[in-house]
Amino acid sequence: MAAIELSQIQLDALRETSSIAAGNAATSLSVMLGKKVTISVPTIMVEASGKIPEAFGGEENIVSAIYFSVSGQLSGSILLMLSVSESLRLVNILTGQKVDQIDGINGMGISAIKELGNITIGTYLRALDQTLNLKIIHSVPGFASDMLGALLDGTLAELSLKSEHVVMAENTFIVEEDMYRGHLIFILDPKSLHIMLKALEARGI
C-alpha cells in the first residue's frame, strides 16, 4: 500500500492545527509540571498501516502507548507511542519515581503518564475539531507496554477496524532542557479518513 499524497492545502491545514494543539498542550503541561514546556510542531504524514512497525524498529520491539478510542464524525483510535526508556524518564519527571523497568511503575506513575497523554491528545483533537468543524469525542485514556505488533493488532481488533492508512506525527517535548520524543498514531476507518482529508481540503489557508 502506497502512502497517500497530501495536497499543499491539506498539509497547511494540518500544520496549522498541530501548531495550535502544540501551543495549548505545552501551556497545560507547564501547569501540570510546574516547569517550562515546549512542544515542536510535528512532522506529519499519512502512511500505509503496514509500514508502522518498520518505522518503530519492528513488530517485536517493546513500546509504551497511551491510547484512546475516537468517535463522533471520525471513528477510530489514537495512540501516543513512546519508547520504554522515554516512558520511564517521563514517569520520573512527573512523579519523582526512579524505576528502570516498565513493570516497576506504580498506580500513581501510570495515572500521571495517562494524564500527560490525555492533555497532549485531547488538545490535538480539540484543535482538529475546531479547525475542521468536525465533532470528535475521545474516550478516557488507557496505557499499555507490549510488543508493537501486539499493541496495533489489539487496537485494530478491539475497534473492528480495517484501516489501510494511518496519520502519523512525531512530536518533540522539551521540559526545561530535557528532550522527550513521542509519536501520535491516528488510526481511522477508511470512511473517516476520507472525511478528514476532504475537510482539510475544504479548509484552505
CATH number, domain at 149? 3.40.1550.10
Under a CB-based contact definition with an 8 Å cutoff, are residues 99 and 170 in contact? no
Q: How many angstroms separate the most distant Cα atoms in the chain?
A: 48
In a domain, 180, yes or no: yes
Each residue's pLDDT expressed in tens, for the chain with a length of 205 residues:
445 666 777 777 777 777 888 888 888 888 888 888 888 877 777 777 777 777 777 888 888 889 888 999 988 888 888 888 888 888 888 888 888 888 778 889 899 899 988 988 888 888 888 888 888 999 999 998 888 888 777 765 554 456 667 788 887 888 887 888 888 888 888 788 888 888 877 765 4
In a domain, 179, yes or no: yes
In a domain, 3, yes or no: no
Please count the CA atoms within 13 angstroms of the CA of 159 that sit on its side-chain side: 24
In a domain, 2, yes or no: no
Best CA proximity match to 171, nearest among 110, 122, 120: 120
How many structural domains are present in the chain? 1
In a domain, 174, yes or no: yes
- For the entire predicted model, the pTM comes to 0.82
Please give the Cα distance from 19 to 5 (Å, whole number).
21
Domain that holds residue 89: 8-203
Under a CB-based contact definition with an 8 Å cutoff, are residues 78 and 71 in contact? no
In a domain, 39, yes or no: yes
Please give the Cα distance from 122 to 116 (Å, whole number).
10
In a domain, 175, yes or no: yes
Residue 106 C-alpha cell reads as 506504580
In a domain, 47, yes or no: yes
